[in-house]
Structure 1
Amino acid sequence: MRREYRLRWTFFIVGLVVLAFGVALTIKGKVFGIGPWDVFHYGLYKQLGLTIGMWSIIAGIIIIISTWIGTKTPPKIGAIANMLLLGIFIDIFNALLPTPEAFAVQLTFFIVGVLILGFGISLYVSANLGAGPRDSLMLLIVEKTGWSITLVRNGMEITVFLLGWLLGGPVGIGTIFIAFFLGKIIQVTLPPCQKWLAHLLEKGQVNPHIASEKKEII
């Protein structure tokens, strides 16, 4: 059980690191636009200061509190870890990565960033340690309204996208690309991540027949 817990948390944290790296790459290639939530965080950063990662954390705190009030259930540790660590990792990578000026490099940063972003989401989701703040809010709205997940998710992303755009966040064809293709990337990468984790978990289990044979020998 302890080994399983360690493995799940490893997948979760590594997934957030990979996700944050992907987000930072898309921000560096922002001439093409960035994801809806990142447009919102970037717009807040542009208008009010702080950092993109800090605004990601602040938005996460507000969402977690709203969801807590709506469900009357305290947030799971996975949601809190997601909220805090993702914002911190985004700021770290934003500080470390260079800001490219050449069009080809910006395009490369953006495309690679989206691919890495999708893989990172698959890694941390496969750990099954609870939904992030935004997904928790989405599920709450679905539960309260009876609307479909697709409708609620699209509605949330359109709302934050418009708010971010009004705040001056970078919007472009890449924003549409992320909206349409990120789900496909996750669809392709999530099953292998889940199988990988399952394989590692099974690998650590002791075969009961082998265990009994060892006892007899002793």
Structure 2
Amino acid sequence: MRRVIGWRWTFFIAGMLIMSLGITMSIKGKVIGTSPWDVLHVGLFQNFGLTIGTWSILTGLLIITSTSLVLKEWPKLGTWLNMFLIGLFIDVFNWLLPATDVYVLQIAYFVVGVFILSFGCGMYIAPNMGAGPRDTLMMILVEKFGGTIKSARMGIEVLVTILGGLLGGPVGIGTVLIALTSGYIVQYSLPYCRKVLLKCIGNMEGVKPFY
């Protein structure tokens, strides 16, 4: 059992690390826009200071508090770690990765970043250690108001994109591309990462499935 838990936590944290690298790369290539939530985080950073990662944590904390009041229960440890570590990793990578004003390099940053963040997303979801704050919000909207996960996600992302755009966040064709393509990449990376995770764990006989 310790082996199972150990590998699950390893994939969970490594996935968030990889996803944060991809998020930061897409932000570095913001000349063509960035993801809906990062449009908001960058807009808040440009207007009120702090760091992009800090705003990611603060918006996540606001969502966790709100969803906890609705559900009348505290989320899993993984949800709290998701909120904190992704914001922390974004700031670390933002400091480590060099910025560029070269248009072609910014596009390269963006394109590679989309693939990396989408793969990392599938990797951190694979061990099922707790949904992120924004995913929890999406599920609550579906449960309370009906509709599909796709429509709930689209509605949330349109709203935060508008809000972030009003704050001067980087809205562009890249914002649309991330919204349209990241889900497809995760669709392939998630089962792949689960397969690798099961291989790392080894014999699963008698172990309760974690997804």
TM-score interval for Structure 1 and Structure 2 normalised by the shorter chain: over 0.9
Per the alignment, residue 15 of structure 1 pairs with 15
* Cα deviation digits, residues 76-132 of structure 1 (max 9, x gap): 101000000000000000011101121221111110000000000010000110110
2:188 corresponds in structure 1 to 188
Give, in whole Å, the separation in 2 of the partners of 1:100 and 1:150: 34
Q: CA deviation at 1:148?
A: 1.7
Partner residue, 1:126? 126
Q: How far does residue 29 in structure 1 lie from its aligned partner after superposition?
A: 0.7
Max Rg structure:
1
Question: What is the CA–CA distance in structure 1 between the aligned matches of 2:141 and 2:71, rounded to whole Å?
Answer: 10
Q: CA deviation at 1:203?
A: 4.7
Q: Which moved more, 1:94-103 or 1:84-93?
A: 94-103
Equivalent pairs: percent with the same residue?
A: 50
CA distance, structure 1, for counterparts of residue 164 and residue 45 of structure 2: 10
Unaligned runs of at least 5 residues, structure 2: 207-211
Q: How does 1:97-176 map to 2 (within 5 A)?
A: 97-176=97-176
Name 2:88's counterpart in structure 1. Answer: 88
What one-letter code is carried by the residue in structure 1 that aligns with 2:14?
V
Cα deviation code 1:47-69 (max 9, x no counterpart): 11100000000000000010100
Is 1:197 the counterpart of 2:169? The answer is no
The letter of the residue matching 1:194 is: R
Deviates more, 1:29-38 or 1:144-153: 144-153
TM-score by length of 1: 0.92
TM-score (norm 2): 0.95
Hey, what does 2:6 align to over in structure 1? 6
Structure 1 stretches lacking a partner, 5+ long: 207-218
**Ranges of 4+ aligned residues in structure 1 off by more than 4 Å:** 203-206
The alignment covers a number of residue pairs equal to: 206
Letter of the structure 1 residue corresponding to residue 91 of structure 2: D
Instruction: State the 1:147 CA deviation.
Output: 2.2
